[in-house]
């Protein structure tokens, strides 16, 4: 991002207030994620793939269809970053790409920090060293928050954790 725009996004989304945030009692790191196709009961996994963006992160990209909503398509991106701080920088980049005045931070949400666009349309969050984006990509909308919570629970179970240092808690 161009520095002037980057600083504007940092200020708009209160980056300094949430950078490094951790809602767990331990540090969490997740590496080499393998997304189970049956992670979200009732949804059909259409495609799951790993991509190397060439920036030191790994991208897991998946899409699901919703059987009772033929026009619904859910798109998931999980970026595995080298650190929590790097994941928060990626989250800021995702926020900048949303390009909507309706994006807002949500407190009681998945992840260490989360933002949503129009409630059911899209939700992005960071958990540990991961930045996660879940969005509707079809003509029909499916609620993303309950699915994001299931993904977050799976991330917590998949990661390795260590207690936070006493001065970090």
Rounded distance between C-alpha atoms, residue 153 and residue 160, angstroms: 13
d(CA 101, CA 87): 23
- pLDDT tens-digit readout, 80-132: 999 999 999 999 999 988 877 788 999 889 999 999 987 678 999 999 999 99
Domain annotation for the chain: domains and CATH numbers: 3-163 (3.40.1000)
The neighbouring-strand residues paired with 73 are 65
| pTM of model > 0.85 | yes
- Taking only the tens place, the pLDDT of each residue in 37-74 is 788 888 888 888 999 999 889 999 999 988 888 899 99
């Amino acid at each position: 991002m161009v520095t002037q725009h980057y600083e504007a996004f940092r200020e708009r989304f209160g980056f300094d207030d949430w950078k490094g945030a951790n809602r767990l009692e331990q540090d969490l790191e997740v590496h080499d994620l393998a997304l189970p196709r049956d992670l979200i009961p009732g949804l059909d996994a259409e495609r799951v793939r790993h991509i190397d963006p060439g920036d030191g992160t790994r991208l897991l990209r998946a899409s699901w269809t919703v059987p009772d909503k033929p026009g619904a398509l859910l798109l998931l991106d999980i970026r595995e970053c080298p650190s929590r701080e790097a994941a928060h920088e990626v989250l800021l980049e995702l926020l900048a790409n949303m390009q909507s005045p309706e994006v807002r931070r949500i407190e009681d949400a998945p992840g260490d920090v989360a933002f949503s666009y129009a409630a059911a349309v899209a939700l992005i969050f960071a958990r540990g060293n991961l930045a996660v984006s879940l969005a509707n990509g079809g003509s029909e909308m499916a609620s993303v928050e309950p699915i994001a919570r299931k993904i977050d629970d799976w991330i917590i179970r998949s990661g390795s954790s260590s207690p936070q240092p006493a001065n970090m808690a």
